[in-house]
Amino acid sequence: MAEQQKRERYNIRISGLGGQGVVTTAHILGSTMDNAGKFASLVPFFGSEKRMAPVEAYVRASNQPIYEVGEVVYPDIIMIYHSQVITHGKSYTMPFYTGLKPNSLIIINTDHDVLNEDDIKVLEDLNATVVQFDATALALQIAGTELATNMAMMGMLLGLTKLVSTENIEAAVKERFLGTSFVSSGGTAMLDSAIEKKFKKKEELLQKNMDVINKTFEMADSVDISGSELIVRFDI
């Protein structure tokens, strides 16, 4: 009998502020894994989905079926979309690395160092890797809008983990913005409408998003997440 395929699994917790595309990222990440013939499950934290309110979403991604549901309490990967989640205590899970497993990855959207000495000690003990970059600046630089911040964050995650190809991502982004199967809340639908007006054409939106993702893939290529360095910084 063939040896059973080893289970590879990432439990991802995404924290940010309402309007940054945290929940949208979770949906696209799930579809990306699906397109790659792998597995995902995702769930958002609900109840406060409004602009600037703290928002969390959770994704489980694996090469095998996933049974578990609910929020991710013990993550392998944490994504921080806004430094306020750390410095203002806006995350639902405080401190923001609560439950983090050893040898894990943290990606932070920031243009300055936000970790204090205590944070650094805990994360060093866990042999974590922290990737810091200004995803919002990158989104503005390449897509011309901060609304592509989530694409920069997602691109960095997928570029670092090599879970899927950019073709898999493109299909998922296309389905999210051009497809018909996505069920969005009223607020998200309004935001989509605002994005559409800004870009005039949805096709253009897709291309801008992919440009951001391709750039982060390029950046991620220079990083060894199994290396000994705790914090990896990128200048935008």
Binding site for other proteins (CB under 8 A): 7, 27, 30-31, 34, 39-44, 46-47, 65-74, 98-99, 181, 183
Query: Measured between alpha carbons, how far is 176 from 12 in angstroms, rounded to an integer?
Result: 20
Q: Which residue's CB is nearer to other proteins, number 39 or number 234?
A: 39
Q: Which residue's CB is nearer to other proteins, number 56 or number 134?
A: 56
Q: Which residue's CB is nearer to other proteins, number 62 or number 149?
A: 62
Q: Which residue's CB is nearer to other proteins, number 184 or number 214?
A: 184
Q: Which residue's CB is nearer to other proteins, number 21 or number 44?
A: 44
> CB 200 → other proteins: shortest distance, Å?
28
> CB 118 → other proteins: shortest distance, Å?
16
> CB 71 → other proteins: shortest distance, Å?
4
Pick from 28, 34, 42, 56: nearest CA to 212? 28
Query: Measured between alpha carbons, how far is 218 from 196 in angstroms, rounded to an integer?
Result: 27
The string over 205-225, giving b where at least 16 C-beta atoms fall within 10 Å of a residue's C-beta and e elsewhere, is: bbebbbebbbbbbebbeebeb
The DSSP result for 108-142, as a single string, is: EE-SS----HHHHHHHHHTT-EEEEE-HHHHHHHH
Other CB atoms within 10 A of residue 75 CB: 25
The string over 135-156, giving b where at least 16 C-beta atoms fall within 10 Å of a residue's C-beta and e elsewhere, is: bbbbbbebbebbbbbbbbbbbb
Instruction: Work out the burial of residue 63: count CB atoms within 10 Å of its CB; fewer than 13 is exposed, 13-18 middle, 19 or more buried.
Output: middle
Q: Which residue's CB is nearer to other proteins, number 36 or number 148?
A: 36
